[in-house]
């Protein structure tokens, strides 16, 4: 394996717009936003096989694909993801699929000498009781939220692999930790999705059926931060071109709200006016996980999409995509 020395930090290193860039997870929530942005930015050789074409859990298939396509850069946005219930009830799937996807893609990228790689983690990798807002240094300083521990451990393993490649092989690979994401193309499954798409679906259905009430999960008191995937995509490109550090870097808005406040906002965008009840037999998850975003804002990135606008945009997509 060739050893390449990391370029110095604080150096802007533009990606070659005509070189092949692999967006792993291209049809997912994050991958589709990346695809839109990179296309608009003039990348002319984007690679994004659908999972039916290339199952990233299949190691020989992944190695063969890399050998054939020789991507210059990789954004690893492929993952098995889900909301609190999916994570809580199917932890074995979450740890196994995510470890397989990551190890295969990272190993194949290393074997083929991929110089620039961005691995996407999640804010749930941080300890349940981390100080708020959560700084990057909190990683591995405490125990995790149990409802998504399996997913978080897989993501932490990915970060450690990227850091290990940097240390052993000198490649300038990097990791970003996005907060809770939402946007067009999200998963709106009633049981398995995250809270924001779940609420859009529930309120939309209730409005259409003129239902007198809806029932949300948990107490509504936990706080969450939400970032639109178009904002994340801009952050990813900026980081790939201008960030080179061993430390993961947070990507969020730095602002959170209670699930109740979110619920009111979604109801207002969707035009639902009935009652809202809370089922406290459902898990709340971690109480709060707002990110400290000072490191990425110092690089010149700030989120541009206001939550209410982003919800409206996502709802418009949902309405156009639903039968």
If binding is defined by CB under 6 A, does position 268 make contact with ligand GDP?
A: no
Q: Write down the catalytic residue from 12, 126, 151, 182.
A: 151
Catalytic site includes residue 287: no
**35 vs 126 by CB, closer to ligand GDP:** 126
Residues 6+ apart with CB under 8 A from 168: none
If binding is defined by CB under 6 A, does position 155 make contact with ligand GDP?
A: no
Residues 6+ apart with CB under 8 A from 38: 21, 23, 46, 233, 237
**60 vs 212 by CB, closer to ligand GDP:** 212
Cβ 180 to ligand GDP, closest distance in Å?
5
Among 259, 296, 305, 307, binds ligand GDP (CB under 6 A): 259
| Consecutive H or E run containing 76 | strand 73-76
Cα–Cα distance between 239 and 251 in angstroms, integer?
10
Q: Which stretch binds ligand GDP (CB under 6 A): 69-77, 95-103, 187-195, 315-323?
A: 187-195
Please report, to the nearest 10 degrees, the dihedral formed by the alpha carbons of residues 24, 133, 235, 31 taken in order: 30
Cβ 64 to ligand GDP, closest distance in Å?
35
- DSSP state for residue 212 in the 8-state scheme: S
If binding is defined by CB under 6 A, does position 267 make contact with ligand GDP?
A: no
312 SS3 class: helix
Place of tokens 């309405």: 319
The contact mask relative to ligand GDP for 209-238 (x = CB under 6 A, - = no) is -------xxx---x-x--------------
If binding is defined by CB under 6 A, does position 247 make contact with ligand GDP?
A: no
Helix axes 91-111, 59-69, angle to 10 degrees: 30
If binding is defined by CB under 6 A, does position 285 make contact with ligand GDP?
A: yes
Place of tokens 């904002």: 231
Using CB under 6 A, list all residues that contact ligand GDP: 83-84, 124, 148, 180, 193-195, 198, 216-218, 222, 224, 259, 282-285
């Amino acid at each position: 394996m060739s050893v390449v020395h990391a370029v110095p930090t604080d150096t802007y290193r533009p990606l070659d717009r005509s070189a092949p860039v692999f967006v792993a997870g291209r049809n997912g929530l994050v991958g589709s936003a990346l695809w839109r942005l990179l296309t608009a930015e003039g990348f002319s050789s984007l690679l994004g096989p659908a999972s039916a074409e290339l199952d990233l859990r299949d190691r020989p298939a992944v190695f063969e694909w890399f050998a054939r396509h020789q991507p210059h850069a990789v954004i690893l946005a492929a993952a098995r993801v889900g909301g609190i219930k999916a994570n809580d009830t199917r932890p074995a799937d979450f740890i196994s699929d995510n470890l397989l996807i990551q190890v295969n893609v990272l190993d194949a990228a290393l074997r083929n000498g991929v110089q620039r790689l961005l691995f996407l983690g999640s804010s749930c990798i941080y300890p349940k009781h981390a100080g708020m807002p959560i700084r990057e240094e909190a990683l591995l300083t405490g125990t995790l939220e149990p409802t998504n521990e399996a997913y978080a451990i897989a993501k932490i393993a990915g970060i450690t692999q990227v850091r290990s490649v940097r240390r052993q092989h000198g490649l300038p690979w990097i990791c970003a930790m996005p907060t809770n994401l939402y946007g067009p193309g999200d998963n709106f499954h009633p049981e398995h999705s995250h809270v924001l798409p779940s609420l859009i679906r529930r309120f939309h259905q209730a409005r259409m059926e003129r239902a007198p009430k809806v029932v949300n999960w948990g107490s509504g008191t936990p706080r969450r931060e939400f970032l639109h995937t178009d904002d994340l995509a801009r952050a990813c490109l900026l980081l790939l071109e201008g960030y080179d550090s061993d430390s993961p870097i947070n990507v969020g808005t730095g602002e959170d709200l209670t699930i109740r406040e979110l619920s009111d906002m979604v109801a207002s965008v969707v035009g639902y006016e009935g009652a809202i009840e809370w089922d406290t037999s459902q898990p709340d998850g971690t109480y709060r996980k707002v990110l400290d975003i000072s490191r990425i804002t110092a690089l010149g990135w700030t989120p541009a999409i206001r939550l209410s606008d982003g919800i409206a945009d996502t709802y418009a997509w949902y309405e156009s995509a639903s039968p």
